[in-house]
Copies of this chain bind each other. A is one copy, B any other.
Amino acid sequence: MTSDRIVFIGAGGAGLTAAFTIARKRPDIPITLFSKDPVVAYSQCGMPFVLDKKIEGFDKLVLYTPEVFKDLGLDVRTSTAVTGIDLDAKTVTIEGGETMEYGKLVIATGSVPFVPPVPGVGLKGVYRLLNLDDGRKLAEAMDNVESVVIIGGGPIGLETAPAFLDRFIDVTIVERMQQLMPSALDPDMTKMLEDHLKEKGAVLITGKGVDSINGEDKVESVSVGGETIHADMVLLSAGVKPNVELAKKAGIDIGPAGGIDVDEHFHVKKNGRALEDVYAAGDCIEEVNAITNRKVVCAIGTVANRQAGFLADELMGIGVPYGQVLCPAITIVGDLQIGSVGLTTRGCEMAGIKPVSFKAKSNTRARYYPEGKHLDIKLIADGQRIVGAQLIGKEGVHGRINELTLAIHKKMTPAELAAVETCYAPPVSPMIDPITYTAEMLSLRCKKLKK
């Protein structure tokens, strides 16, 4: 007799959310989740704001207690690593050698931080911020350091930088590319972000990689392009990569972007053939970019959460194709909001698209209304339709990114977007919305270039 149990390897945004949904709608289906972490069901995205003391303590980030799992009939095994998958026997092996049979298997192993291959990266004092345990350790260590080097100008390090600065810790951010947040922003859109960090006292080094992390027992300095920067602590923020080791070991196909290759029903593949009863979802898979049609890795919480909805339906036998993605994202650095969706200029060029863009400096309120905030906005088109958007400001970014996501999803041209009605009141927007204005200007530029 084969098992009808659904086994999840990983209980993060994708795995746990899908399991919850199934448990609520189909309590008859037995479900087991294995997680290496001692605590599951917490908000990863909230950690920088606990460090920044906006949120009181890491416990606030725990969304569900083990009692909730029990009430839902979910068998959640924390602190339990899965060490192997036997696709023929339809079993997983856990630490210690015990095996469990599965009816359906979901690989939701998430991502692992990219660790730059530099000497000293294993020294005491080098931190990362992926799970709750990392967060607690970092919080404790932070109170005893005077200087930190953040390696990588990506979202996690930048969101955490204010926590260091508010504690009067010297912060140096080192990014190998010529700019911060290179995967979300064009170089000419980073000024407000860089100014904000510099004003708060951070030192930014771009266009240079870290040569080594130095110290006897623990971090003492970091070498960057010949220069030595004193540092008591290093925080790795050089991005993440799909955690695919277990899948790879089982012979499951890994795609061109480095994630597990799945079809649009989340079935994994072996030698190019989809496996009926094995699925993967979340940060560990790659998906299809809606503009370029190319495979991408999009390791953000909302994407994993959204996949979980599709995956749960799939596992209950009522699935619909998952479709393609634009990966809209918003990053909060102090009181600055940085939003992006679709392709950057560099992303266009890498995909063979000739970008046409327009950038505007605008405001979040009527110009005569007090306390309006600067808003920088850039829209990018492929000459015909909008393919990317970037916004940065102290308010008014979130809703506009979602609106632009919808516009790109619906393949709108700049002219069409510029003609859409908008709402207005002096305390919350200018009469002509920055999106409307920028889309109008981009439309004129596209027209001009066509002539």
Contact = CB atoms under 8 A, between A and B. Distances in A.
Contact of A426 (B43, B402, B403): B43
A90 B420 CA distance: 35
A400 to B, nearest CB: 5
Contact of A428 (B61, B337, B427): B337
Contact of A328 (B306, B370, B421, B427): B421
Given A302-B422, A399-B402, A427 B54 contact: yes
Interface size class of chain A, counting residues whose CB lies under 8 Å from the partner chain? 35 or more
B332 A427 contact: yes
A163 to B, nearest CB: 14
Interface of A: 43, 45-46, 49, 54-55, 60-61, 63, 300-303, 305-306, 323, 325-332, 337, 339, 341, 366, 368-370, 396-403, 405-407, 409-410, 419-429, 431-433, 435
- Which are the 9 A-B pairs with shortest beta-carbon distances? A399-B399, A328-B423, A403-B403, A330-B423, A398-B428, A302-B424, A60-B368, A401-B423, A330-B425
B423 A366 contact: no
Given A370-B55, A428-B330, A423 B396 contact: no
A43 B366 contact: yes
A168 to B, nearest CB: 23
A301 B332 CA distance: 33
Contact of A45 (B402, B409, B425, B433): B425
A11 to B, nearest CB: 16
Given A305-B431, A399-B398, A422 B328 contact: yes
A321 to B, nearest CB: 11
A310 to B, nearest CB: 9
Nearest to A303: B421
Nearest to A432: B305
B397 A431 contact: no
Contacts of A341: 423
